[in-house]
Protein backbone atom coordinates (compact mmCIF):
# COMPACT_ATOMS: atom_id res chain seq x y z
CA UNK A 1 0.00 0.00 0.00
CA UNK A 2 1.38 3.38 -0.89
CA UNK A 3 2.02 5.75 1.99
CA UNK A 4 -0.45 8.27 0.53
CA UNK A 5 -3.23 5.68 0.73
CA UNK A 6 -2.24 4.87 4.30
CA UNK A 7 -2.75 8.55 5.27
CA UNK A 8 -6.29 8.43 3.89
CA UNK A 9 -7.06 5.14 5.68
CA UNK A 10 -5.77 6.62 8.95
CA UNK A 11 -7.86 9.78 8.43
CA UNK A 12 -10.98 7.66 7.96
CA UNK A 13 -10.14 5.54 11.00
CA UNK A 14 -9.44 8.71 12.99
CA UNK A 15 -12.85 10.04 12.00
CA UNK A 16 -14.91 6.92 12.66
CA UNK A 17 -13.36 5.15 15.65
CA UNK A 18 -13.33 8.09 18.12
CA UNK A 19 -16.80 9.14 16.91
CA UNK A 20 -18.22 5.78 18.01
CA UNK A 21 -17.17 6.54 21.58
CA UNK A 22 -18.34 10.14 21.41
CA UNK A 23 -21.76 9.24 20.03
CA UNK A 24 -22.11 6.50 22.66
CA UNK A 25 -21.36 9.00 25.41
CA UNK A 26 -23.76 11.57 23.94
CA UNK A 27 -26.50 8.94 23.68
CA UNK A 28 -26.08 7.92 27.33
CA UNK A 29 -25.55 11.39 28.79
CA UNK A 30 -27.55 13.66 26.57
CA UNK A 31 -26.49 16.02 23.83
CA UNK A 32 -25.23 18.69 26.21
CA UNK A 33 -22.03 20.48 25.24
CA UNK A 34 -21.64 21.79 28.79
CA UNK A 35 -21.81 18.21 30.06
CA UNK A 36 -19.23 17.16 27.49
CA UNK A 37 -16.87 19.98 28.47
CA UNK A 38 -17.35 19.10 32.15
CA UNK A 39 -16.40 15.49 31.39
CA UNK A 40 -13.22 16.72 29.68
CA UNK A 41 -12.24 18.19 33.05
CA UNK A 42 -13.42 15.29 35.23
CA UNK A 43 -9.96 14.64 36.67
CA UNK A 44 -6.32 15.58 36.16
CA UNK A 45 -5.64 12.75 33.70
CA UNK A 46 -8.55 13.66 31.43
CA UNK A 47 -7.74 17.37 31.67
CA UNK A 48 -4.14 16.66 30.68
CA UNK A 49 -5.24 14.60 27.69
CA UNK A 50 -7.76 17.26 26.65
CA UNK A 51 -5.13 20.01 26.77
CA UNK A 52 -2.69 17.77 24.90
CA UNK A 53 -5.20 17.45 22.07
CA UNK A 54 -6.02 21.17 22.04
CA UNK A 55 -2.32 22.08 21.84
CA UNK A 56 -1.78 19.49 19.08
CA UNK A 57 -4.76 20.88 17.14
CA UNK A 58 -3.51 24.47 17.39
CA UNK A 59 0.00 23.41 16.38
CA UNK A 60 -1.32 21.43 13.41
CA UNK A 61 -3.43 24.41 12.34
CA UNK A 62 -0.42 26.74 12.42
CA UNK A 63 1.63 24.22 10.45
CA UNK A 64 -1.10 23.88 7.82
CA UNK A 65 -1.44 27.65 7.48
CA UNK A 66 2.33 28.13 7.17
CA UNK A 67 2.71 25.44 4.53
CA UNK A 68 -0.36 26.45 2.55
CA UNK A 69 1.01 29.99 2.36
CA UNK A 70 4.17 28.62 0.72
CA UNK A 71 2.89 25.63 -1.26
CA UNK A 72 -0.45 27.15 -2.33
CA UNK A 73 -2.15 23.80 -1.73
CA UNK A 74 -5.49 25.40 -0.86
CA UNK A 75 -7.43 22.14 -0.56
CA UNK A 76 -5.22 21.22 2.41
CA UNK A 77 -7.09 23.88 4.39
CA UNK A 78 -9.93 21.34 4.69
CA UNK A 79 -7.84 19.58 7.31
CA UNK A 80 -8.39 22.51 9.70
CA UNK A 81 -12.16 22.07 10.14
CA UNK A 82 -11.62 18.30 10.19
CA UNK A 83 -9.20 18.79 13.09
CA UNK A 84 -11.57 20.93 15.18
CA UNK A 85 -14.89 19.29 14.25
CA UNK A 86 -13.71 15.66 14.25
CA UNK A 87 -10.29 15.54 15.92
CA UNK A 88 -6.55 15.54 15.49
CA UNK A 89 -6.74 11.81 14.74
CA UNK A 90 -8.54 12.72 11.52
CA UNK A 91 -7.06 16.15 10.74
CA UNK A 92 -3.38 15.19 10.87
CA UNK A 93 -3.50 12.18 8.53
CA UNK A 94 -5.93 14.06 6.26
CA UNK A 95 -3.45 16.92 5.99
CA UNK A 96 -0.63 14.45 5.26
CA UNK A 97 -2.80 12.95 2.53
CA UNK A 98 -3.33 16.37 0.96
CA UNK A 99 0.35 17.21 1.37
CA UNK A 100 1.57 13.99 -0.26
CA UNK A 101 -0.45 14.62 -3.43
CA UNK A 102 1.77 14.88 -6.51
CA UNK A 103 2.41 18.53 -7.39
Quick: pLDDT tens for 49-58.
999 999 999 9
Question: In the predicted model, what is the mean pLDDT of the chain?
Answer: 94
Q: In the prediction, which pLDDT does 12 show? A: 97
> Is the predicted pLDDT of residue 102 greater than 90, yes or no?
no
At residue 59, the pLDDT reads 98
Helices 88-99 and 44-71 sit at what angle, rounded to 10 degrees? 20
Residue by residue, DSSP assigns 48-78 as HHHHHHHHHHHHHHHHHHHHHHHH--GGGGG
Domain ranges of the chain: 3-99
In the chain the first and final C-alpha atoms are separated, in Å, by 20
Q: What is the pTM assigned to this prediction?
A: 0.89
DSSP 42: S
Amino acid sequence: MRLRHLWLVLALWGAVHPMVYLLGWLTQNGWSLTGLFATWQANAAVSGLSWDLVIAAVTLTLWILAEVAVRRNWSALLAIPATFLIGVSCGLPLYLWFRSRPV
